[in-house]
Structure 1
Amino acid sequence: MTERPAGSVERDVTNLQIGPSHVEWKGDALEITIEERDKRLFNPFRRKVRGKVRVIPESLNPASFALDPAENHIWHCMAPRARIEVDMEEPGVSWSGQGYFDHNRGSEPLEDGFRTWHWSRAHMKEGAVVCYEGERGDGSVFASAIRFGADGIPEIADLPPAARLPSSGWHIKRRTRSDLGVSEVIRTWEDTPFYARSELSTQLYGEDVVSVQESLDMRRFASPVVQFMLPYRMPKEKR
């Protein structure tokens, strides 16, 4: 990822262009064309990252959800279930599997609206379930569980008991939801000073599932130390 100025961004009804990369609806699939370079800590050489990712929704959900009373932050799970096809040229890897597609939008920075949040998503035998909870910037809390049917239509569900997880390597506090109040971390995919994404083994609504879980600490993100560190991991294009 590279931070880019507004002049490097264009969009129309079906296409979003960010620098040399773009995201475009083509028929029934969302096609992501990646033209980037990575950046590793203390490594001045930026390798090319180039290829395509296709996201093919099994169904589409038209409903969005506000994460705060003022509706400054909106979450939209567009495809609760999807298939993905990844074909990278650099590095030369490819695979296919299950996927998911959502986005957040807002009228203020995330660090103004939230202190922490925890999110998880699991494929069920039919449809999918998303659990979303956290603490807003004003100290109020929110928590919800949403079940999506095979047709993608959402329905608010009873919130399963909280299940605490071990802190990440950077001591980010993690939590999720489970029928039995317990869950196991299979592996952590991303572990940073303010964010962790993990694969979990858990039980939801009577089904044994594998879920994707993330925890975000916006107080950590906004700290001067982390802001100083970010450019070493995420290059910034000059305006």
Structure 2
Amino acid sequence: MLPGGYGWWYIDALSADRRHGLTIIAFVGSVFSPYYRASGRHEPENHAALNVALYGPSARWTMTERQSALVRRDRDTLQVGPSAVRWYGDHLQIDIVERDKRLGIPWRRHVRGTVRLYPETLNSTAFALDPEGHHLWHCLAPRARVEVEMTQPELRWSGEAYLDSNFGRESLEEGFRVWHWSRAHLGREAVVCYEGVRRDGSGFASALRFDASGTPHEAELPLVAPLPNTLWQMTRRTRADRGHASVLKTWEDAPFYARSTLASRLYGEQVVAVQESLDLDRFASPVVQFMLPYRMPRKD
């Protein structure tokens, strides 16, 4: 990975009964790391992390950054400290050995367990998010199923999931001001809506439908559906039939980032969508940069 660059692999999942959710993000050149930013972003592999967020009963959130001596990568494995992400033939396995970090609480709880993701469809096409191709998005598995077996906290559930990756040759805040993203399953298909404003002021917006084989097709972009601001007054929006969607649960509410589950209708079908909004001007502000180390510790 080139200096200044980044890569991440992202999973989100919902339990069949909708009581539980999770996101897992494996970072190399961690885009939200205050340490990587302060270092001048010269060594991406010296700033790696596994972000694990469990939502619902027994919620947890962990993101400890590791130096390059604690990171190992090959074709099938990314080891970040004691945790690892590995391909095993027909599935991706995430072995989690982390501790959570909570503001104002000095002790850290163990977060341990295994998550297995089984792709139902695979997509081989990546898309550039900017004209220069500095930022690439690849929806690897628009549809997947997941099995979650946690020992700390004690949780066991299964459900539907999604897997993608992003790679870039510059920081996110150099390329973008804001973006909004959402994904939903449609029968045996899936849809992803992506939109935002680049740093040069140009906008972008698209909707992709992935058929039952995983092949992407450009689709008519649904109407803008405004969503209520978060407690941090983050502006968020999505796309939906008739321009209407409702927030079921706000999973993440941070000064520069929000992730939510939504109820909406897309292409005539009622769906539960996962949605995120990101404000990179907020992220780059001195106040947020001062706050981040309390949420994202580094282990050298």
Q: TM exceeds 0.5?
A: yes
C-alpha displacement at 1:10, in angstroms?
1.1
Whether 1:144 and 2:206 are equivalent positions in the alignment is yes
Gapped regions of structure 2 (runs ≥ 5) = 1-62
Q: Distance in 1 between matches of 2:294 and 2:98?
A: 16
Find 1:41's aligned residue among 88, 100, 103: 103
Q: Distance in 2 between matches of 1:60 and 1:96?
A: 20
What is the one-letter code of the residue matched to 1:33?
Answer: D
What is the one-letter code of the residue matched to 2:218?
Answer: I
What is the one-letter code of the residue matched to 1:161?
Answer: L
Determine helix, strand or coil for the equivalent of 1:180.
helix
Find 1:64's aligned residue among 121, 126, 141: 126
Find 2:178's aligned residue among 106, 116, 119: 116
What is the one-letter code of the residue matched to 1:28?
Answer: D
* Aligned pairs (5 A) from 1:155-234: 155-234=217-296
C-alpha displacement at 1:142, in angstroms?
0.4
- The two structures have a TM-score, normalised by structure 2, of 0.78
C-alpha displacement at 1:3, in angstroms?
1.4
Find 1:20's aligned residue among 53, 76, 82: 82
Q: Which stretches of structure 1, 4 residues or longer, exceed 2 Å deviation after superposition?
A: none
Find 2:115's aligned residue among 53, 69, 81: 53
- The two structures have a TM-score, normalised by structure 1, of 0.98
C-alpha displacement at 1:186, in angstroms?
1.0
Q: Is the 8 A contact 1:65 1:74 kept in 2?
A: yes
Q: Distance in 1 between matches of 2:105 and 2:270?
A: 42
Q: Distance in 1 between matches of 2:83 and 2:184?
A: 29
Gapped regions of structure 1 (runs ≥ 5) = none
Aligned-CA RMSD value: 0.8
* More deviation, 123-132/1-10: 1-10
Find 1:77's aligned residue among 139, 147, 153: 139
C-alpha displacement at 1:59, in angstroms?
1.1
What is the one-letter code of the residue matched to 1:234?
Answer: M
Q: Distance in 1 between matches of 2:252 and 2:195?
A: 20
